[in-house]
Amino acid sequence: MVKVLICDSVDAQAVDAMRAAGVEVDVRDTITLDELGQVIGEYDGIVVRSRTKVRAPLLQNPGNLKLIIRGGVGVDSIDVEVAESKGIKVINTPNASSNAVAELALGMMFSLARSLAWADATMKAGKWEKKKLEGVELAGKTLGIIGYGRIGRMLAEKARALGMTVVAYDPYIDSPDLISLDELLSVADYVSLHIPHTPETHNLLGAVQFAKMKPGARLINAARGGTVDEDALYAALTTGHLAGAALDVFTEEPPQSEALHKLIALPQVIATPHIGAATVEAQERIGGEIVKLVQEYLAA
């Protein structure tokens, strides 16, 4: 019998479906890396989300392991080359959460435009700050999308429906419809990132890039921590060059450093705890894709 270990939270219906298909499933969604290292070789496959990082040391003695499924868009939390060199197949579920992340980015744009988080906080504090809460509209503004894959294209469709102009840059796509990063930064009122964190995209936006952005522009990062230089972002916000930022991802998750806490505490920053895929619908789709991938593995 095929044995699969669920290392992070997965939709319960997906677990039931795998068991119904004859898979022996162990759910240990709070397992530590030390604990995982002790048992990983006992399983044919493991399922991880963003919490569990599968790095090279975990894969030194993989035993029976032949399959790693990453429930989500990226696989940057897994040392794919090491896994594949040991005959372990790595698969993700890129379609399942794309719409959820695109909707979050759009919601963050609305929140930045109208200072919704700050307005709510002042109301809860018993204040009536109406005169300080003049916002801006998204219609007529330019959205610059960095990373024009599934999520980027979904966000573009939603933004155009609101009357926004959309421009895009993608370091991995060669297309005449895309523009350079410098041009995007110079024209965008909102910049939204939708790229993986790789050596090539590490701190893709830093002090030099922020200086090229329009005064008063706003940044959204619902992609991956490490793609934005957070110290440089703090400086661009506190000098007033950028009007705001919405961040769902960070270099440390959860944030630990004093510098990150200072960034998050800024009133012009909206921060959320990596909830891009955290919708009921996305979790059901992710679970469904995981079941399908396990079934395909069994049929191979």
Instruction: For residue range 92-140, list pLDDT tens digits in order.
Output: 998 899 999 999 999 999 999 999 999 999 999 999 999 999 999 999 9
State how far the Cα of 164 lies from the Cα of 168, in Å rounded to an integer: 13
The residue count of the chain comes to: 300
Q: How far is CA 185 from the centre of its chain?
A: 21
Taking the C-alpha atoms of residue 44 and residue 5, their distance in angstroms, rounded to an integer, is: 8
pLDDT of residue 95: 84
Q: Quick one: pLDDT band at residue 258, thresholds 50, 70, 90? A: very high
Say if CB 104 and CB 81 are below 8 A apart: no
pLDDT at 299 over 90: no
* pLDDT (tens digit per residue) in 176-226: 899 999 999 999 999 999 999 999 999 999 999 999 999 999 999 999 999
241 carries an active-site annotation: no
DSSP 20: H
- Band of residue 170 on the pLDDT scale cut at 50, 70, 90: very high
At 227-257, the pLDDT tens digits run 999 999 999 999 999 999 999 999 999 999 9
Q: Is the dihedral of CA 142, 145, 146, 148 positive or negative?
A: negative
Choose, from 51, 153, 202, 253, the residue flagged as catalytic.
Answer: 253
Residue type, 20: A
Q: Residue with structure tokens 């119904």?
A: 20
pLDDT at 298: 79
CA dihedral 90, 274, 265, 244 (to 10 degrees): 90
Task: Write down the catalytic residue from 49, 70, 218, 274.
Answer: 274
**Which of 49, 218, 224, 285 is the catalytic position?**
224
Q: Which domains does the chain have, with CATH numbers?
A: 3-93+280-299 (3.40.50.720), 98-271 (3.40.50.720)
This prediction has a pTM of 0.90
157 is catalytic: no
Q: Where are the alpha helices (DSSP H) in 10-126?
A: 12-20, 33-39, 80-85, 98-114, 116-124
114 is an active site residue? no
Q: Which residues does 187 contact at the CB level (< 8 Å), separation at least 6?
A: 142, 144, 167, 214
SS3 168: strand
